[in-house]
A and B are shown apart, each in its own frame.
Chain A
Amino acid sequence: MNFLNIINQLAEVDADVLDRLDSRRAVFSSLGTVAKRSAMAATPMLIASMFQKAYAGTNAGDPVEIFNYALTLELLENDFYNKVKASAFYTAAPAASQAAITQISKHEAAHVALLQKVITGIGGTPVTNVTFKASTFATLTSFAAQLQVAQLLEDTGVRAYKGRATDLQGIGDVTITGVGTINPLESALRIHSVEARHAAHIRIMRAQTPWISGSGDLDGADNYKGATPESNFTQAGYNLTTAGVITPGVTYSATDVAAAFDEILTKAEVTTLVTPLIGA
Chain B
Amino acid sequence: MSTKIISSSQPQMTDLDQPLYTPIKRRSFFMYAGATAGATALILAGCSKSDSEPGIVSLGSGNLGVLNYAYALEQLEAAFYAQVVKTPATDFQTGELTYFTQVAMHEAIHRDFLKAAIINVAKATPIMDLTPNFSSITFTSRASVLGAAKAFEDLGVAAYNGAGKLISVTDPNGATYLTVAGKIVSVEARHAAYIRDLITPGSFAADDQVDATTGLDKSMTPVDVIMTAQTYITQKLDASSVGK
Contacts and interface: CB of A to CB of B under 8 A. Distances in A.
Nearest to A104: B205
Interface stretch (A27-35, A132-140, A232-240, A266-274): A232-240
Contact of B165 (A158, A185, A248, A252): A185
A199 B129 CA distance: 33
B71 to A, nearest CB: 12
B189 A114 contact: no
A74 to B, nearest CB: 9
Contacts of A91: none
Contacts of B190: 196-197, 199-200, 210-211, 262
A256 interface: yes
Nearest to B197: A204
Contact of A162 (B113, B120, B186, B188): B186
B10 A190 contact: no
A166 B113 contact: no
B11 A166 contact: no
A191 B183 contact: no
B182 A189 contact: yes
A236 B176 contact: yes
Interface residues of B, number: 61
Interface stretch (B16-24, B47-55, B155-163): B155-163
Given A192-B186, A210-B194, A211-B187, A264 B102 contact: no
A200 B105 contact: no
B127 interface: no
B183 A200 contact: no
B124 interface: no
B112 interface: yes
A59 B171 CA distance: 12
B191 A166 contact: no
Nearest to B103: A211
Given A106-B215, A169-B175, A192-B182, A200 B193 contact: yes
Interface string A212-241: 010000000000000000000001111010
Given A103-B205, A259-B187, A110 B193 contact: no
Given A106-B212, A211-B106, A235-B113, A186 B187 contact: no
20 contacts: A103-B202, A103-B205, A107-B205, A110-B215, A114-B216, A162-B183, A169-B165, A193-B185, A195-B186, A196-B185, A200-B193, A209-B102, A211-B191, A235-B113, A240-B113, A246-B109, A259-B102, A260-B105, A260-B109, A261-B184
Given A169-B167, A169-B178, 11 more contacts: A100-B204, A162-B179, A165-B164, A199-B190, A201-B197, A210-B190, A236-B176, A246-B116, A247-B11, A260-B187, A264-B182
Interface of B: 9-11, 99, 102, 105-106, 108-110, 112-113, 115-117, 120-121, 157, 160-162, 164-165, 167-169, 174-176, 178-180, 182-194, 197, 201-202, 204-206, 210-219
Interface of A: 58-59, 96, 99-100, 103-104, 106-111, 114, 158, 161-162, 165-166, 169-170, 179, 183, 185-187, 189-201, 204, 209-211, 213, 235-238, 240, 245-250, 252-253, 256-257, 259-264
